Structure 1
């Protein structure tokens, strides 16, 4: 937000308060559906499987209603209801349930993703896991988690050797054959590779539990909240060329610059 000047903390406070309100509303809309018997899931694809449920739609509608009241001049990009134009230069990027496959399977690794920022990318991000009751929020130089253990500051790990690193991914579920081969090069040299977890893996990077998340085939609403959160916690998120990742595509999230550089070299085949 290049137009913001020093001392304009009220804007930051407003955005943070709004983000919490959105996450609260999404929790209320989603939780009655989680692990509910007979929950229907529609497939959004003619080939493959990309499910959507009433919980996805209800959560995004609830968040949009709050934005219409609190921040009517801001734009919105949501997974289920697309784009709404704005005039403020700010865009809220919403994924009401990141990990709907996990949601319909009953595993608590899905989450609500909320980000806000300008054309250059997100400045504030939330990963909220309603069932566990954990909310990770980061932006404006501050990152914290609020959950069953109270409120704690977040900070990424200092791992600098791939041989000591823990890596998460959604491969081979997503990505092309070439992307999968690049990931395999990286996976061979890390200490531990784990699969799945959706957005929760990014939260674990911010929390200092794991070192890397590598994915492909992302949309903007999949990655913007993790970018803001992880960067506020001290980490690095780029695309596989080392450039901005906020538009989606291929992303690498790393705990620090050293482990990011080492992983990026493996993905590029230059290690």
Structure 2
């Protein structure tokens, strides 16, 4: 694996990593039967009540899980941070500019992809992303770019004017499940380059109760983790409140482990 030098940086006073719960899978279950059970709005409010510091949704053009109408209804009731992920097609942009969530995470969704499977090539799409991000920030919406762990892209990322990146963590999760902890080094390098460029760093995709503590201990300055599939799946066995509380404890332990190593 290619090695990157870690850039020394001064420790900063920061809040601990926020947990944003992606409720797409709740909507998938609802849509499988029709009707309104389970209730997406009620589930989101329960996530907030049980300790989640944010709610994430990722509406797609075919509305196979979260529907555009869900987004408008959620905006009316949520009291924590609201993060909307998606590809900035015209319909998506119209919606987010009307809803004005806390954050929009730009994802280069491929057509017919089951789930997100790649980050942006920000060198190739720098002008396009800059135009989109300028419009979002004009509307006072925080922006984040979904990104593979590639430190060499950070210069072009910063040039877009984005506030944050979201590290696409599937590769980390896959290697970690196989007992390989070295993959996190590329994520650390990318996160540090981003921090030095003045960007905040989020992370998401395939994070779970098994790997979240280790990721936080290695990158304790993550601003937010967005977790959906694993969290909702684990909640089937553990209960939603218990699962969210377990994630919050894992994040706390990861943060403490990192502090102890400094």
Same fold (TM > 0.5)? no
* TM-score (normalizing by structure 2): 0.28
Higher strand share: 1
Q: TM-score, normalised by structure 1?
A: 0.28
Name the structure with the higher helix share. Answer: 2
